[in-house]
Chain A
Amino acid sequence: MSFRPDYEVVIGLEVHVQLRTRTKLFSTAAVSYGDEPNHHTTPVCLALPGALPVLNGQAVELAVRAGIATNCEVHPRSIFARKNYFYPDLPKGYQISQFEEPLATGGWLDVEFEDEKGELTTKRVGITRIHMEEDAGKSLHDGSAVDSHIDLNRAGVPLIEIVSEPDMRSPAEAGAYLRKLRAILRTVEASDADMEKGQFRCDANVSLRRHGDTQLGTRTETKNVNSFRFVEAAIEAEVERQARCLDEGEEIRQATLGYDADADRLFVMRMKENADDYRYFPDPDLIPLVIEEARIEQIRAGLPELPDRRRARLADEHGLTAAEAAKLVASAALADFFESAVAAGAPARAAAHWLTREVAACLNERDLEIEATALVPDAFASLLELVETGRLTARSARELLPELLEGGGDPAALVSERGLEAVSDEGALEVLADEVLASNPKAIASYRDGDKKSLNFLMGQVMKKTQGKADPARVRQILAGKLDGS
């Protein structure tokens, strides 16, 4: 991001999370993805005359888990309200949501991110509220120029909306908040939070103000961005756009924006001239949602270890750095993988090091979670063992990684199949070193004149001859011995 030191960036996020239920929020229709349109509908989903909603208890339990895990106060009484507006993918003409009395309020997350200097920083981001609501259906406009089609399979799928305070000050903070939130929701199994399936969708509210201003600037809302990278990119683009407007003395106008990831551009969905009037009122078809305090405590007691605690434990048990532990628990799957690998005999610090750097980089490039790859903890542990025992150089291991992620397999077998064993035969290395020294008298001369960098050149020549399969430290030792000793 081009840094705009003259403005303070203010970001608040609204995240819609699909709860991991078998059936919809108010009907017995199955929650599904990618099925034939309008296959999973009941009279309730279709808003037929005389149909009534009945609340899904499993959805309530999962929403309570999410509330507890984000340090919210979960209210023993909350109210479902109708949000009234007309749209063809909203069969009742209103969405059942929560408005004046939401399920949970006043939470926070401690979010770890790298600041501009690359140092790990922790920041507390407030969570204003979590409320339950039903999803709308989908409008399909691709068929013909004239007709639109409606798929109501998604209509009524249970969601929670998690609204943050406007506490984030950079796209990186926003991205870190989202990753942390997603990791927590997956840990407590409130949601699969599969972003490709739209189970974790983010709306970003962005405004700028001059440093020192106490009032918030006019904000825009960028809707439905469905990957971490795109959220950060969309916010960056919007900050840049607003900054340019403000530089030129223009006013920011309230608007709802969309983000076109392919073009890395924002587009205006609609301008908000007036505040929308959704005529919220308590849904008379539903009674207040009452959850006994004892039930809330029971759910709290049943929650698995949350990322913050796990991070502390991993750092403590395995002597990891805070940054490594934080990166591991940012994805519950990655942390699980780490613990399994250690259990399979992998040295913990090396495993953390590899997972948070080499493996993480490979995953990022491919936009994958570790469990979606073919690499299993046992194989990873034996890969590290090969490196630790000197049978495989780090460089060869790095080269092998993509193959292991994509195709799996036993690293030891792959190494011998490819002849990747490190050249550890001292005699062979001595011979190679002598060959290199014999053909590079100039380098020897400059080394002896005090240019110690010449050693690196000579090392490179030896490594080249081994095709990178020698331990660089050992090669250096041998060369230095020959140069200094003779």
Chain B
Amino acid sequence: MPSPLGEVARLREALTSGETTSSRLVDAALAAAEAVGEDLSVFTHLRHEAAREAAAAADARLSAGRARSVLDGLPIALKDNIVQAGEPAGCASRILEGYVSPFDATAVARLLEAGAIPIGRTNMDEFAMGSSTENSVHGPTRNPWDRDRSPGGSSGGSAAAVAADIVPLALGSDTGGSIRQPASLCGVVGMKPTYGRVSRWGLVAFASSLDQIGPFAHTAADCAVLLDAMSGHDAHDSTSLPEPPLQTAAGLNGDLSGRVIGLPREYYEAEGADASSLECVHAAVAALEGAGAKTVPVSLPHTRYAIAAYYLIANAEASSNLARFDGVRYGHRAAGASGLTDLYERSRSEGFGAEVKRRILLGTYVLSAGYYDAYYRRAQKLRTLLRRDFEAAFESCDVLVTPTTPEPAFRLGERADDPLTMYLSDVYTVSANLAGLPGVSIPCGLAGGGLAAGLPVGLQVLGPPLADAAVLEVADAYQRLTDHHQARPGGSR
């Protein structure tokens, strides 16, 4: 029996019974996007007409009893780096101003096929480089729980869109935690699938070996529905796994008996971690144990190298991936350039923001002759060691449960001038990308005291490669035991 939790099941019911229509859902989403969304800078672009037309078409199908899928007629938000034909794909960057994609990302095409209706594009850190959604040409997105705080990033717009109940579902991308960290900071569920599970065709590349598209929702059950619809081999992406589409939603049964949960020591002993957040995580672990799961301590000894390895590899790949933005074929081109080199230098200087430039420079440096072995090659070796850490850990457990972030949402501007501290907020999430693992962040309560009191705390569930279903099953089971996913900004439950 599928999980009873979640908006998809509830809205499906309402649509089937005629209690509401797709048009009303889409209108409400667009209205909220304009009101709340504008206040929080959630969207970079809204598709008023196209979304309403799609909703009318969906209503026609629904009233004829020919719904395409459980997602038919439901509004969804897309991160601005996941392309849709005929829509802007700005990646929150000046260098892509005016760019409209002529093709659909595979994930988007599959959701459209299922009847989902993208209402617009969400704000992000430029080219997904950041953990706060402050590095955006459109300005920072604000956290619905506290508008002076960051929603996390880089998929901050998508996380905020779900947290503020503008849309029930959204897509983000996760390169080092860019789905899970904002999910954690915004009190929603966000999942990064196994690398290769969802096609990267149409995801504007940041770091190709780490990037994955994944879902946001209030529940693991809803994420499962989205993942099932998007996943499966795609011939357009050479790194796409040769696997059929997942069918995880149908397998969510709340059963935790016999599950062995590993608790990696290194994730509970980090310096400077917020004590009150850790309490929420411990309480969650206790709840899982209470429902029949067994916990075991495990160790991931190379965890302390993960951030370094991650930033070396991600920036190296980014420096090459972003070379195509040169002012020649599309996007921003500097006016009045004199000659080719000047055109490149000025277009790119004007088009990229500071953090993107910093990463291109770092990545270019680590790939340079004489430094490649010391940096890039060593980082790849570390990546192998990290992968082996996980392989060893998963010999004694089915999934790992950890905090998603060291602390709840930080204040906007607080870390803007301190990139290193900002990078460290990814400490619990980057390893899953380096090892290609599936991971989900679910809300596990509100921080109890201190400066972060009342802000959501996230619990991360990680699984071995291909264990996307196991990760979602544990997350769903936890949500059946608790009601943290019902918490909303402003105290309403």
B25 CB within 8 Å of chain A: no
B299 CB within 8 Å of chain A: no
- A54 and B236 contacting across the interface, CB-CB below 8 Å: yes
Residues on B with beta carbons closer than 8 Å to the beta carbon of A52: 200-201, 205, 236-238
- B102 and A277 contacting across the interface, CB-CB below 8 Å: no
Interface stretch (choices A82-90, A249-257, A311-319, A421-429): A82-90
B316 CB within 8 Å of chain A: yes
Residues on B with beta carbons closer than 8 Å to the beta carbon of A53: 238
Most buried by B among A48, A50, A277, A286: A50
- B329 and A84 contacting across the interface, CB-CB below 8 Å: no
Total A-B residue contacts, Cβ distance less than 8 Å? 100
- A50 and B201 contacting across the interface, CB-CB below 8 Å: yes
- A94 and B320 contacting across the interface, CB-CB below 8 Å: yes
Residues on A with beta carbons closer than 8 Å to the beta carbon of B319: 84, 279
Partner of A84, one of B105, B205, B320, B328: B320
A37 CB within 8 Å of chain B: no
- B101 and A86 contacting across the interface, CB-CB below 8 Å: no
The minimal Cβ–Cβ distance linking A274 to chain B, given in whole angstroms, is 10
Cα-based distance from A408 to B401 in the complex (angstroms): 83
B residues contacting the other copy or chain, number (CB 8 A): 44
Residues on B with beta carbons closer than 8 Å to the beta carbon of A43: 102-103
B1 CB within 8 Å of chain A: no
B326 CB within 8 Å of chain A: yes
Cα-based distance from A129 to B105 in the complex (angstroms): 38
Bin the interface of chain A by size.
Answer: 20 to 34
Partner of B238, one of A54, A94, A275: A54
The minimal Cβ–Cβ distance linking B331 to chain A, given in whole angstroms, is 9
- A93 and B83 contacting across the interface, CB-CB below 8 Å: no
- A50 and B323 contacting across the interface, CB-CB below 8 Å: no
A91 CB within 8 Å of chain B: yes
Give the contacts of B304-341 with A (CB-CB under 8 A): 316-317, 319-320, 322-324, 326, 328-330, 340
Give the contacts of B98-137 with A (CB-CB under 8 A): 99, 101-103, 105
B235 CB within 8 Å of chain A: yes
Partner of B102, one of A48, A55, A88, A284: A48
The minimal Cβ–Cβ distance linking B203 to chain A, given in whole angstroms, is 6
Give the contacts of B329-362 with A (CB-CB under 8 A): 329-330, 340, 344
Give the contacts of A256-313 with B (CB-CB under 8 A): 275, 277, 279-281, 283-287
Residues on A with beta carbons closer than 8 Å to the beta carbon of B237: 52, 54
- B369 and A281 contacting across the interface, CB-CB below 8 Å: no
Residues in chain B within 8 A of chain A (CB atoms): 81-83, 89, 91, 96, 99, 101-103, 105, 200-205, 207-209, 235-239, 316-317, 319-320, 322-324, 326, 328-330, 340, 344, 364, 367-369, 372, 376
Residues in chain A within 8 A of chain B (CB atoms): 43, 46-55, 82, 84, 86, 88, 91-94, 150, 275, 277, 279-281, 283-287
Beyond A48-B102, A82-B320, 14 additional pairs, beta carbon < 8 A? A48-B101, A49-B204, A50-B203, A51-B103, A52-B201, A52-B236, A84-B367, A91-B324, A92-B323, A93-B320, A279-B369, A285-B238, A285-B239, A287-B239
